[in-house]
Amino acid sequence: MNEETLTINKTSWEEAAALFFGRNPLPEYGPLAPCEDELNLLGEVEGAAVLDIGCGSGHSLLYMAERGVKELWGLDLSKNQIHAAEKLLEDCKAPVHLFESPMEANPGLPEGYFDIVYSIFAIGWTTDLSKTVENVFRYLKSGGHFIFSWEHPLYSRVRLKEGTLMMEQAYHEEGPYDHEAWKLPAMMQQAKVSTYINTLIDQGFIIERIIEEVRLTEKDRERHSNRWYSYEKAKMVPTTLIIKCRKP
């Protein structure tokens, strides 16, 4: 766990939290990507105990509450995000447990307890992917599922210029990087698709689905015009990597 990077990222998120209130939560998995309504990765969640890694403003947890889960748990690096989630979820019938914590550490979460752990466009903020995945494996009960999404590793490595994709960073390069689309001082982690897969396997997970498809409707074109996740670029390279795996 890189304490210096976590401090930088926490400071950045405290400032940016309000800008991400309700941004792309479940049933969305990412910009221009298929949604849960289509994928049905979560399955039947009524009566389940769920944990949101990087819960942000709590809107994905609210989605889960509306589907009848038994317990809502979440953690996030940002105090401001946790406060926003607490307010959003204060009227939920299901018990809510939120922790201000990096995903690389266990802030007091029960082990062998959760039916579903998920992370929507957050896992790339970890400073230690192996430790984060190890934690998730411990949190889940046997047969429980881990479902996560993140920016596809190819997307930030290529640039669309006049209708042509140009490689700007070697795909083989991994590690911390300053994401061009993030305007505040912050470091995300770049990893190959194989790194995500092998890390999950090394920790004991069984991979069930890998999704790289995009969804390009007219509504998507309007929402993402002239933004980092552009419609034109998404026609050529996926924006989002989604993986579903299971603890034996």
**Tens digits of residue pLDDT in 134-162:** 999 999 999 999 999 999 999 999 999 88
Any alpha helices (H) in 89-189, and if so which ranges? 129-139
Q: Which residues pair with 161 in a beta bridge?
A: 164
Domains of the chain plus CATH, in order, are 3-246 (3.40.50.150)
Question: CA dist 152 to 1, 30, 45, 72, Å?
Answer: 23, 10, 27, 28
Residue type, 200: L
What residues have CB less than 8 Å from 192, skipping those under 6 apart?
Answer: 153, 171, 172, 174
In this model, does residue 130 exceed pLDDT 90? yes
**Tens digits of residue pLDDT in 24-63:** 899 999 999 999 999 999 999 999 999 999 999 999 999 9
Whether the Cβ atoms of residue 232 and residue 162 lie closer than 8 Å to each other: no
In whole angstroms, give the CA distance from residue 153 to residue 100. Answer: 27
